């Protein structure tokens, strides 16, 4: 059936497709053009005869940041040679390697923007052929463009370009910089703002389409061979309480309110993005990766819903997203088709009009199942036939049908 879809697109949509692909390639091309040379810090460039003050600037962290990596108190004397602080060469090499693994390639920001741009055009303009007939809805929103973007996110933004930057790290680094672990709070705030903006222009599009670990979970959940596996929709209230609670606990530890070790970040031990550089410097990281990838076969995006701090932040941000799934309550008959198609509780919460419902990852599964043409993806302020302010009562619907 998928081969019918391109033929159904209007000439204008074909132009949109070409323009969006060209724009995405251009954005990626600019990223390659403007990518600065990666700093090369050979591990043996640093010795334990050097002080924190000498080494930290070369690693682009503050003295406190390096002290934390070396498991020293943040107020450790920064001018003393490291061997006098009891640090071995092996510990120093390990800390330097770990800090350098967080090197943020600028190219990835461009690629994230390119994927999100294409996703936005696909969802709002391309997925549903112009003047489409509802009886042909099965061919709408074919999966191939989505799967292609997910593969690009995992392979290029993940395994090829490494773990940094990513939305989870972008969130955590803002808070780490406020306790002095990075030189500039403003830089980290700008990086987080970039991800939040991408989550707002299209409902969590950065998570749904471009985040490497999100994409990996999405691909595992979508594997056709696993479709017979039982799928679980876990209570959103429960998982969001865990995700929000963890975020609070992270802040309490980071600011030293609990544990008395300022600068301690619990997410460090739960960071699945280390998979993309195959760096499992703590056994808990490996356990996190394995457990959540296995869970992803049966539960939709378990890491995003249960753990990820950016998942939590973008869940709040999506309440003001500019484009999203919209339901025409005048047409909706509560048949439940979209709710069944949705892998999470999101469609159910959207249909019932819940303000703080489950995160929607803009996966498009619900957009080609409604027999009453009551569900669309569109701009929040646009007046489409899919928008009525109030849910009609059953009697109103009946009288409208007479
Ligand atoms: S919520 Fe999921 S998709 Fe979004 S940043 Fe976190 S891991 Fe990635
Ligand atoms: S199926 Fe669910 S998660 Fe996917 S777009 Fe629809 S409401 Fe959002």
Q: Is 114 touching ligand 2 by the criterion CB < 6 Å? A: no
- Which residue, 254, 287, 317, sits at the end of a domain? 317
Ligand in closest contact with the CA of 309: 1
Q: Is 289 touching ligand 1 by the criterion CB < 6 Å? A: no
pTM: 0.87
Residue nearest to atom 8 of ligand 2 (CA): 360
224 and 354 belong to one structural domain: no
Residue nearest to atom 5 of ligand 1 (CA): 167
Question: Average model confidence (pLDDT) for the chain?
Answer: 90
Greatest mean pLDDT among 82-86, 184-188, 206-210, 389-393 lies in: 206-210
Atom of ligand 1 nearest to the CA of 168: 5
Element holding 337 (H helix, E strand): helix 337-341
Distance 295 CA to ligand 2 centre (A): 19
> Would you say 194 and 170 are in contact if contact means Cβ atoms under 8 Å apart?
yes
| Residue 49 lies in domain | 43-101
Give residue-wise pLDDT tens across range 147-166: 999 999 999 999 999 999 99
The string of DSSP letters for 106-144 reads: HHHHHHHHHHHHHHHHIIIIISS-TT--GGGGGGSS-SH
397 and 285 belong to one structural domain: no
Q: How confident is the model at residue 262 (pLDDT cuts 50, 70, 90)?
A: confident
300 and 330 belong to one structural domain: no
Give residue-wise pLDDT tens across range 37-53: 665 555 568 899 999 99
pLDDT of residue 151: 98
Distance 194 CA to ligand 1 centre (A): 14
74 and 153 belong to one structural domain: no
The domain that holds 349 is classified in CATH as: 3.30.70
Q: Is 211 touching ligand 1 by the criterion CB < 6 Å? A: yes
Q: Is 168 touching ligand 1 by the criterion CB < 6 Å? A: yes
Give residue-wise pLDDT tens across range 123-141: 999 999 998 889 999 999 9
242 and 135 belong to one structural domain: yes
Domain count, the chain: 3
322 and 312 belong to one structural domain: no
3-state class (DSSP) for residue 298: coil
User: Tokens for 386?
Assistant: 């899919």
Atom of ligand 2 nearest to the CA of 341: 1
- Which residue, 81, 101, 121, sits at the end of a domain? 101
169 and 180 belong to one structural domain: yes
- Which residue, 77, 101, 125, sits at the end of a domain? 101
pLDDT of residue 99: 83
Give residue-wise pLDDT tens across range 305-352: 999 999 999 999 999 999 999 999 999 999 999 999 999 999 999 999
Q: Identify which of 236, 318, 325 to mutate to test ligand 2's pocket (most ligand atoms within 8 A of the CB).
A: 325
């Amino acid at each position: 059936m998928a081969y019918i879809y391109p033929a159904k697109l209007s000439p204008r949509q074909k132009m949109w497709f070409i323009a969006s692909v060209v724009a995405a390639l251009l954005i990626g091309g600019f990223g390659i053009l403007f990518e600065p040379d990666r700093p090369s810090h050979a591990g043996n460039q640093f010795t334990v005869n050097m002080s924190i003050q000498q080494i930290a600037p070369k690693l682009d962290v503050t003295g406190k940041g390096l002290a934390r990596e070396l498991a020293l108190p943040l107020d450790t004397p920064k001018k003393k040679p490291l061997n006098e602080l009891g640090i071995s060469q092996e510990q120093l090499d390990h800390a330097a390697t770990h800090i350098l693994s967080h090197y943020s390639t600028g190219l990835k920001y461009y690629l994230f923007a390119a994927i999100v741009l294409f996703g936005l055009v696909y969802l709002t303009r391309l997925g549903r052929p112009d003047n489409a007939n509802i009886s042909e809805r099965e061919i709408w929103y074919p999966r191939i463009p989505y799967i292609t973007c997910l593969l690009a996110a995992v392979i290029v933004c993940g395994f090829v370009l490494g773990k940094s930057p990513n939305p989870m790290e972008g969130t955590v680094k803002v808070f780490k910089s406020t306790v002095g672990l990075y030189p500039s709070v403003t830089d980290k705030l700008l990086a987080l703002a970039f991800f939040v903006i991408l989550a707002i222009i299209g409902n969590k599009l950065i998570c749904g389409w471009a985040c490497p670990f999100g994409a990996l979970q999405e691909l595992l959940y979508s594997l056709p061979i696993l479709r017979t596996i039982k799928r679980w929709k876990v209570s959103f209230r429960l998982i969001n309480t865990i995700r929000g609670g963890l975020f609070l606990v992270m802040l309490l530890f980071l600011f030293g309110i609990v544990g008395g070790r300022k600068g301690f970040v619990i997410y460090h031990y739960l960071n699945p993005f280390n998979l993309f550089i195959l760096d499992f410097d703590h056994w808990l990281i490996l356990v996190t990766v394995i457990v959540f990838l296995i869970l992803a076969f049966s539960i939709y995006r378990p890491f995003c819903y249960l753990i990820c701090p950016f998942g939590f932040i973008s869940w709040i941000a999506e309440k003001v997203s500019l484009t999203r799934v919209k339901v025409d309550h005048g047409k909706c008959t509560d048949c439940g088709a979209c709710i069944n198609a949705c892998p999470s509780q999101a469609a159910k919460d959207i249909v019932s009009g819940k303000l703080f419902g489950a995160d929607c990852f803009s996966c498009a599964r619900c957009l080609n199942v409604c027999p009453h043409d009551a569900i669309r993806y569109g701009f929040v302020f646009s007046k489409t036939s899919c928008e009525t302010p109030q849910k009609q009562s059953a009697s109103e619907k009946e009288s409208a049908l007479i």
